[in-house]
């Protein structure tokens, strides 16, 4: 019994921390409709700034409280700067581009923090009062955790007062429900959005600095925190503060008890809860369907057969690719093989998120399943390479078909978040199932068959498989199925009214995209000779997203161009210092100035002066 | 026999009885107008007929077959075409491709993966576009059409399954007066030539009295009058609802 009480209290303390971050995220989303990936970075900045402030102040409780508030205010100011410098310019961009831009900020902040505070974890020297305990149910419970438990409801109460009792709160609630109407009533949105963003950032900073006594400021907390915060916000319902509180309680308790009772599968459990909630309540526990943004209807590009010039260019590239083994050395060939894998990986994501309208934040899951299927076939079953390369797309396609059944009924941000959740589940299973997957160490020695051992042969095999599969996907987009898929994206209402079973069509597209990504994973596994959990990590999913958006999501050639450009850029940056900062800045500039991507911009140039 | 026979149709939203025991029938080649003030239950009625909303009570018979509660795609498969109050077309496709998409679905060719879609049913699509006077615009993107043209494109899409029943929800909303008359004259002609039963809602009384064979008046979810133009014009309850005597509707 005592155990239950203490764990429950620990859970409440965890819930408070979760709520602080999630509250900021949900308030920002509610008003600006921006899913702020950089929210975890603000939390991290809060922790670092808090460390810098608190280590310079006297160590008694009053100074501590003052330092905490100061750190939160400083983070709020940084948030305001971020809003004015970047987000303000992209409110009208598609939500995926916004998400991507904020991810660019994540990368930049990581390197900025590395530059300013160094690579080491920073912990707070704890004065006696911070180390104090109270007796609870016969056990010693940290005093600071009790304080934390109080902070969550306190902040909820203050936010509630702000929303219910002030003019600013009325505006904020009105903007959450219908921001066009608020603008039409003459409210200055520019200021409102900046203040809201600063408020959200301040809450994230508060969460960050309050995490110091129990933890540390380090360079990993941004992504850890943002994943948890997404789960809480999505489970609670995006834009809903009470929902976020409820979900924080749920997830906090789940983590507190899970870590003791089922340590291996806690992460899986958390995402499973999220999946179940979304299946039964597609807008979260207390969320409402988003008001449709008016006047946002964009004219979508027609899909037309490639013009002759583009065909010739494609053929030239193909001929060059075929001739590569004649002049390229082993290193260049291995880079080219990686590029081919990246092309198929991006093309498969583009297939579902462009024409299918299903943006995924967890596409690496299918890539990883394919890679692990091939590796396990080689190791556990001693199967020959062709069997492994066949198993890879089959396993990934089957898994995507299974998870897709839950996913395709959602749309927009919720769909993206559920794909992220499933990818995290797959990642957690692979990471923790040591006996089969080797855990963190991965599986080594996945080498190609003897006949394909020569890098030149394997490169040609990769060209045939990845290039062929990408061409097939392209072919399908021009075929009736591709039209039906676009129909379900363009107008679900009309699609249903002409007899199309949108659910089945989307599921088939999802499974097909998964299978193609799985094949890419399989080819990659044999090319590298090993598989690791990082293949499934969020960062790898983002790689594919960046490649697709860099190329241009509205064009069929986009993912190919994007994957080639991104791989080349990535390889070039990786050897330089502060490459994350450069990559992040590159992504941000891309979203700001080339929202249609390289292929999109090229298409626009080409079409200039020609009749539509 | 009537193409569509509806009996005792009912649906509530919370405490509001949106549609309350509505019964009527439409014959082949007949144009039946469904009119009534805002909130009378016209759109709810429509959405139940094509399966977007499941009715709580009543039955819907299409050619004698019970279609109550079927999803829209099944209803469509049984020969019901539909246009929407706010047009719904595929913005990333050309005008011709919009119709081709409907034809692909009608001929059950959606699950094809290889041959390019533009080779499927192009002539058939052009013939349908010809009927609504949109053939010349076949290659234009649907996303850039004028509103009146979008409405005509929707009509061509709705005809792609060779419907026996056509549901048109406010077909002329947002159109210029001259366009309205032309579109409804077109619908009238198609109904006559192909023996299609047409059910439409409409706010423009000139259109209603100009083309409808019969008019059904709804108020607060109930049918309050039914008959031809002359009878409806003379009906005291209809006048009360529209002119607002306050006697029956609480003043509109």
Confidence class for position B221, pLDDT limits 50, 70, 90: confident
Stretch among A174-188, A521-535, B17-31, B130-144 having the lowest mean pLDDT: A174-188
The pLDDT score that the predictor gives to residue A135 is: 79
The pLDDT score that the predictor gives to residue A610 is: 61
Residue B155, both tokens: 């009509």
The pLDDT score that the predictor gives to residue A295 is: 38
Task: Please indicate whether residue A83 or residue A124 has the higher confidence score (pLDDT).
Answer: A83
Q: Chain B contacts of A501, Cβ < 8 Å?
A: 73
In chain A, domain spans = 2-220, 331-607
The pLDDT score that the predictor gives to residue B220 is: 87
Q: Chain B contacts of A483, Cβ < 8 Å?
A: 93, 97, 100-101, 104, 117
Q: Chain A contacts of B84, Cβ < 8 Å?
A: 493-494, 497
The pLDDT score that the predictor gives to residue A471 is: 92
Between CA A156 and CA A23 the distance in angstroms is 8
Say yes or no to pLDDT of A1 above 70.
Answer: no
Q: Please answer whether residues A513 and A352 qualify as being in contact, where contact means their C-beta atoms are separated by less than 8 angstroms.
A: yes
Stretch among A55-59, A343-347, A463-467, B53-57 having the lowest mean pLDDT: A55-59
Confidence class for position B79, pLDDT limits 50, 70, 90: very high
Q: Chain A contacts of B94, Cβ < 8 Å?
A: 302
Question: Is B111 at the interface with chain A, CB within 8 A?
Answer: yes
- Mean pLDDT of the residues in chain A: 87
In chain B, domain spans = 4-244
For the residues A351-366, what does the mean pLDDT come to?
91
Confidence class for position A290, pLDDT limits 50, 70, 90: low
- Mean pLDDT of the residues in chain B: 88
The pLDDT score that the predictor gives to residue A399 is: 96
Residue-wise pLDDT for A549-581, tens only, equals 888 877 778 888 888 888 888 888 888 888 889
Q: Which residues contact B111 (CB under 8 A, 6 or more apart)?
A: A480, A481
Burial grade of A300 (CB within 10 A; 0-12, 13-18, 19 or more): middle
Residue-wise pLDDT for B136-156, tens only, equals 999 998 888 888 889 999 999
For the residues A383-400, what does the mean pLDDT come to?
95
The pLDDT score that the predictor gives to residue A301 is: 64
Confidence class for position A194, pLDDT limits 50, 70, 90: very high
Confidence class for position A142, pLDDT limits 50, 70, 90: confident
Residue B194 distance to chain A (closest CA, Å)? 20
Does B73 sit within 8 Å of A497, measured CB to CB? yes
Say yes or no to pLDDT of B17 above 90.
Answer: no
Confidence class for position A207, pLDDT limits 50, 70, 90: very high
The pLDDT score that the predictor gives to residue A238 is: 82
For the residues B76-84, what does the mean pLDDT come to?
92
Percentage of chain A modeled with pLDDT above 70: 97
Residue-wise pLDDT for A69-87, tens only, equals 999 999 999 999 999 999 8
Q: Which CATH architecture has domain A331-607?
A: Orthogonal Bundle (1.10)
The pLDDT score that the predictor gives to residue A298 is: 47
Residue A91 distance to chain B (closest CA, Å)? 23
Confidence class for position B176, pLDDT limits 50, 70, 90: confident
Say yes or no to pLDDT of A500 above 80.
Answer: yes
Stretch among A388-402, B72-86, B238-252 having the lowest mean pLDDT: B238-252
- Could you say which residues from 51 to 90 on chain B have a Cβ atom under 8 Å away from some Cβ of chain A? 71-74, 76-77, 82, 84, 88-90
Does A496 sit within 8 Å of B143, measured CB to CB? no
For residue A450, the number of C-alpha atoms closer than 13 Å in the C-beta half-sphere is: 0
Closest CA to A216 of A51, A78, A19, A10: A51
Residue A353 distance to chain B (closest CA, Å)? 14
The pLDDT score that the predictor gives to residue A51 is: 94
Confidence class for position B178, pLDDT limits 50, 70, 90: confident
Between CA A438 and CA A506 the distance in angstroms is 34
Stretch among A124-128, A250-254, A511-515, B54-58 having the lowest mean pLDDT: A124-128
At B215, is the secondary structure helix, strand, or coil?
strand
Between CA A118 and CA B209 the distance in angstroms is 80
Confidence class for position B123, pLDDT limits 50, 70, 90: very high
Percentage of chain B modeled with pLDDT above 70: 96
Say yes or no to pLDDT of A367 above 90.
Answer: yes
E strand or H helix that includes residue A436: helix A434-437
Interior CA angle at B136 toward B131 and B140, to 5°?
115
Q: Please answer whether residues B167 and B80 qualify as being in contact, where contact means their C-beta atoms are separated by less than 8 angstroms.
A: yes
Say yes or no to pLDDT of B24 above 50.
Answer: yes
ipTM over 0.95: no
Selecting from B82, B90, B143 the residue whose C-beta is nearest the C-beta of A486 gives B90
Between CA B214 and CA B33 the distance in angstroms is 6
For the residues A484-494, what does the mean pLDDT come to?
92
The pLDDT score that the predictor gives to residue A364 is: 95
Percentage of chain A modeled with pLDDT above 90: 36
Confidence class for position A512, pLDDT limits 50, 70, 90: very high
Closest CA to A275 of A386, A365, A392, A181: A365
Say yes or no to pLDDT of B170 above 50.
Answer: yes
Confidence class for position A300, pLDDT limits 50, 70, 90: low
Q: Please answer whether residues A34 and A102 qualify as being in contact, where contact means their C-beta atoms are separated by less than 8 angstroms.
A: yes
For the residues A233-254, what does the mean pLDDT come to?
89
Residue-wise pLDDT for A438-458, tens only, equals 888 889 888 888 888 888 999
At A410, is the secondary structure helix, strand, or coil?
coil
Confidence class for position A463, pLDDT limits 50, 70, 90: very high
Interior CA angle at A129 toward A123 and A130, to 5°?
30
Query: Looking at domain B4-244, does it have CATH number 3.40.50.300?
Result: yes
The pLDDT score that the predictor gives to residue A450 is: 83
Q: Which residues contact A161 (CB under 8 A, 6 or more apart)?
A: A169
Residue A297 distance to chain B (closest CA, Å)? 9
Max mean pLDDT range (A199-208, A274-283, B136-145) = A199-208
For the residues A29-45, what does the mean pLDDT come to?
89
Residues of A at the B interface, defined by Cβ within 8 angstroms:
297, 299-303, 305, 475-476, 478-484, 486-487, 489-491, 493-501, 505, 612
Nearest chain A residue to B82 by CA distance is A497
**Chain B interface test: which of A490, A499, A600 (most B C-beta within 10 Å):** A499
Does A482 sit within 8 Å of B90, measured CB to CB? no
Question: Is B181 at the interface with chain A, CB within 8 A?
Answer: no
Say yes or no to pLDDT of B249 above 50.
Answer: no
Q: Chain B contacts of A480, Cβ < 8 Å?
A: 104, 109-112, 115, 117, 120
Q: Chain A contacts of B145, Cβ < 8 Å?
A: none
Q: Please answer whether residues A366 and A513 qualify as being in contact, where contact means their C-beta atoms are separated by less than 8 angstroms.
A: yes
Residue A135, phi then psi, degrees to nearest 5: -85, 120
For the residues A52-57, what does the mean pLDDT come to?
91
Say yes or no to pLDDT of B71 above 70.
Answer: yes
């Amino acid at each position: 019994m005592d155990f239950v009480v203490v764990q429950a209290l620990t859970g409440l303390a965890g819930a408070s921390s979760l709520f602080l971050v999630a509250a900021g995220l949900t308030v920002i989303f509610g008003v600006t409709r921006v899913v702020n990936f950089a929210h975890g970075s603000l939390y991290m900045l809060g922790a670092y700034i808090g460390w810098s402030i608190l280590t310079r102040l006297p160590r008694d409780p009053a100074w501590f409280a003052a330092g905490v508030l100061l750190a939160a205010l400083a983070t709020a100011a940084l948030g305001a700067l971020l809003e004015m410098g970047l987000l303000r310019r992209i409110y009208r961009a598609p939500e995926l581009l916004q998400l991507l831009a904020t991810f660019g900020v994540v990368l930049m902040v990581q390197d900025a923090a590395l530059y300013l505070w160094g690579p080491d974890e920073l912990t707070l020297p704890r004065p006696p009062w911070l180390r104090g305990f109270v007796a609870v149910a016969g056990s010693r419970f940290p005093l600071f955790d009790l304080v934390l438990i109080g902070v969550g409801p306190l902040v909820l109460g203050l936010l509630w007062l702000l929303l219910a009792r002030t003019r600013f709160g009325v505006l904020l609630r009105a903007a959450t429900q219908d921001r066009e109407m608020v603008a039409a009533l003459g409210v200055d949105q520019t200021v409102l959005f900046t203040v809201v963003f600063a408020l959200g950032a301040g809450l994230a900073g508060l969460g960050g600095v309050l995490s110091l006594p129990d933890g540390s400021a380090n360079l990993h907390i941004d992504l850890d925190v943002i994943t948890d915060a997404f789960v809480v916000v999505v489970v609670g319902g995006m834009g809903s503060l009470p929902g976020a509180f409820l979900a924080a309680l749920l997830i906090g308790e789940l983590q507190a008890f899970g870590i003791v009772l089922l340590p291996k599968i806690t992460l899986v459990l958390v995402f499973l809860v999220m999946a179940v909630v979304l299946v039964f309540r597609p807008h979260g526990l207390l969320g409402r369907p988003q008001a449709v943004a008016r006047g946002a209807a964009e004219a979508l590009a027609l899909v037309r057969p490639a013009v002759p010039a583009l065909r010739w260019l494609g053929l030239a590239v193909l001929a060059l690719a075929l001739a590569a083994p004649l002049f390229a050395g082993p290193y260049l060939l291995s880079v080219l093989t990686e590029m081919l894998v990246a092309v198929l990986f991006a093309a498969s994501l583009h297939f579902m998120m462009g024409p299918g309208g299903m943006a995924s934040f967890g596409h690496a899951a299918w890539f990883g399943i394919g890679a692990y299927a091939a590796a396990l076939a080689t190791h556990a079953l001693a199967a020959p390479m062709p069997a492994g390369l066949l198993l890879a797309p089959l396993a990934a396609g089957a898994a995507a078909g299974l998870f897709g059944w839950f996913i395709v009924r959602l749309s927009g941000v919720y769909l993206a978040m559920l794909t992220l959740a499933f990818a995290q589940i797959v990642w957690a299973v692979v990471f923790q199932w040591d006996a089969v997957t080797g855990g963190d160490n991965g599986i080594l020695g996945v080498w190609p068959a003897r006949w394909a051992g020569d890098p030149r042969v394997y490169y040609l095999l990769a060209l045939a498989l990845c290039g062929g599969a990408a061409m097939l996907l392209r072919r399908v987009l021009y075929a009736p199925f591709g039209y039906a898929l676009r129909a379900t994206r363009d107008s679900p209402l009309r699609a249903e009214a002409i007899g199309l079973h949108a659910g089945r069509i989307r599921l088939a597209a999802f499974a097909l995209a998964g299978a193609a990504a799985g094949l890419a994973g399989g080819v990659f596994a044999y090319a590298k000779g090993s598989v690791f959990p990082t293949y499934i990590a969020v960062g790898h999913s983002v790689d594919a997203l960046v490649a697709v958006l860099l190329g241009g999501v509205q064009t069929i050639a986009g993912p190919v161009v994007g994957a080639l450009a991104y791989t080349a850029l990535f390889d070039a940056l990786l050897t330089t210092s502060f490459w994350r900062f450069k990559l992040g800045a590159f992504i941000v500039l891309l979203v700001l100035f080339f929202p249609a991507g390289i292929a999109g911009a090229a298409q626009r140039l080409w079409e200039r002066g020609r009749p539509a | 026999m009537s193409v569509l026979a509806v009996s005792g149709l009912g649906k509530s939203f919370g405490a509001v009885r949106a549609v309350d025991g509505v019964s009527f029938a439409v014959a082949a080649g007949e144009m039946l107008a469904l009119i009534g003030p805002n909130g009378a239950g016209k759109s709810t009625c429509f959405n139940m007929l094509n399966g977007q909303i499941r009715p709580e009570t009543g039955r819907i018979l299409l050619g004698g077959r019970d279609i109550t509660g079927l999803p829209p795609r099944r209803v469509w498969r049984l020969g019901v075409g539909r246009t929407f109050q706010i047009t719904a077309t595929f913005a990333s496709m050309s005008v011709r491709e919009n119709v081709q998409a409907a034809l692909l679905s009608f001929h059950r060719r959606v699950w094809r993966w290889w041959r390019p879609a533009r080779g499927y049913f192009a002539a058939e699509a052009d013939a349908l576009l010809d009927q609504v006077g949109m053939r010349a615009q076949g290659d234009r993107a649907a996303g850039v059409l004028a509103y009146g043209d979008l409405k005509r494109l929707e009509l061509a899409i709705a005809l792609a399954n060779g419907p026996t029943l056509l549901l048109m929800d406010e077909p002329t909303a947002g159109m210029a007066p001259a366009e309205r008359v032309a579109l409804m004259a077109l619908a009238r002609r198609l109904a006559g030539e192909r023996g299609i039963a047409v059910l439409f809602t409409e706010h423009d009384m000139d259109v209603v009295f100009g083309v409808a064979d019969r008019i059904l008046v709804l108020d607060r979810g109930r049918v309050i009058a039914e008959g031809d133009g002359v009878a409806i014009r003379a009906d005291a309850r209809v006048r009360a609802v529209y002119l607002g005597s306050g006697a029956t509707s609480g003043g509109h």
